[in-house]
Amino acid sequence: MDDVGILIEALPYIKDFHGSCMVIKIGGHAMIKENMLEDTIKDILLLYFVGIKPVVVHGGGPEISEKMEKLGLKPRFVNGLRVTDKETMEIVEMVLDGKINSKIVTTFIKNGGKAVGISGKDGLLVIARKKKVKKKEGEKEKIIDLGFVGETEFVNPDILRILLDNDFIPVVSPIATDLEGNTYNLNADLVAGDIAAALKAKKLIMLTDVDGILEDLNDPNSLISTMKANDLKDMLKKGKLQGGMIPKGEAVLKALDGGVEKAHIINGSIPHAILLELFTKKGIGTMILR
Ligand SMILES: Nc1ncnc2c1ncn2[C@@H]1O[C@H](COP(=O)(O)OP(=O)(O)OP(=O)(O)O)[C@@H](O)[C@H]1O
Ligand SMILES: [Mg+2]
């Protein structure tokens, strides 16, 4: 009866979510181990088979750095963004599209799903522009050149709608071009946020390697389980988010601003984190409300 109880607890959620679209960002840190990715894909397939339309966006930071080091290049970051010269851009594209995107699609197939791997380039999903990055040096702010680091200029979700309407699961890598054909490396969190807003998704779900947003970065017991967009804005302003959590915070704010109902930041290394967060009363990560 316990097992049935779990299903019955999930019923109101399933009813509420049926037919809605959800954007799920899988961080590179949330797929380091093979079974982590597989568990996540199974969760996403369960969403799919109860009538939710999932869109997957993935990162891949750790694997890009590993490949660079193997090729004798040293990864460098400024404000959490990878310095991306031409050679690095080639590696980024190889790893994200050729390896990670393909691995995610394969894992869907292995578990009975119909996924389609695309980058932001395909179907003009994302038009990018070069990102201007400011860095504080003492009192002054300097604009620095990070090479082929891009940001979203425009999202055109037509290709996603076509795939979703035909029961495919889109898997998107955060690579896009400008209209001159320059290829850029975009932050996957921000791409996920922009896509969620363009689709007016029901939810944006970010899987990472920490339990969620910590009130105090040094205190693992300070997890915030529910917060409002304004509180998150405040934390960003006060510098309480650092490194990889900054683009996550910004992406969540953009998504909520763009009409997404709720955002969740959860730990992808907890087995079946998505199901625990979405279908049980308690939830496990940080939920951010408009
Ligand atoms: N206030 C905070 N609460 C929780 N984590 C924080 C906070 N500020 C900074 N972080 C850091 O953010 C990291 C998560 O972002 P990170 O970019 O490293 O991973 P990812 O986005 O999941 O993976 P990828 O960048 O490969 O897609 C955590 O490991 C943590 O160290
Ligand atoms: Mg990141």
The 10s digit of each residue's pLDDT in 230-244 is 999 999 999 999 888
Which pLDDT value is given to residue 239?
92
Residues whose CB falls within 8 Å of the CB of residue 80, separated by 6 or more in sequence, listed in order: 242, 243, 244, 246, 247
Span from the CA of 61 to the centroid of ligand 2 (angstroms): 7
State how many domains the chain has.
Answer: 1
Q: Which atom of ligand 1 is nearest to the CA of 248?
A: 21
DSSP 8-class letter at 157: T
- Closest residue (by CA) to atom 7 of ligand 1? 241
Q: What DSSP line would sit under 37-57, residue for residue?
A: HHHHHHHHHHHHHTT-EEEEE
Q: Which atom of ligand 1 is nearest to the CA of 188?
A: 27
Which pLDDT value is given to residue 213?
97
Span from the CA of 11 to the centroid of ligand 1 (angstroms): 32
> Residue 11, class by beta-carbon neighbours within 10 Å (0-12 exposed, 13-18 middle, 19+ buried)?
exposed
The pTM of this model reads 0.95
The segments of the chain whose pLDDT lies below 70 read: 1
The answer to the question of residue 228 being in a domain is: no
Span from the CA of 248 to the centroid of ligand 1 (angstroms): 8
| Rounded-to-integer distance, Cα 177 and Cα 52, Å | 30
CATH number of the domain at 67, please.
Answer: 3.40.1160.10
Residues whose CB falls within 8 Å of the CB of residue 98, separated by 6 or more in sequence, listed in order: none
The answer to the question of residue 232 being in a domain is: no
Rg (the chain; Cα; Å) = 18
Which pLDDT value is given to residue 1?
65
> Residue 247, class by beta-carbon neighbours within 10 Å (0-12 exposed, 13-18 middle, 19+ buried)?
buried
Q: Which domain holds residue 255?
A: 20-208+243-282
- Closest residue (by CA) to atom 20 of ligand 1? 27
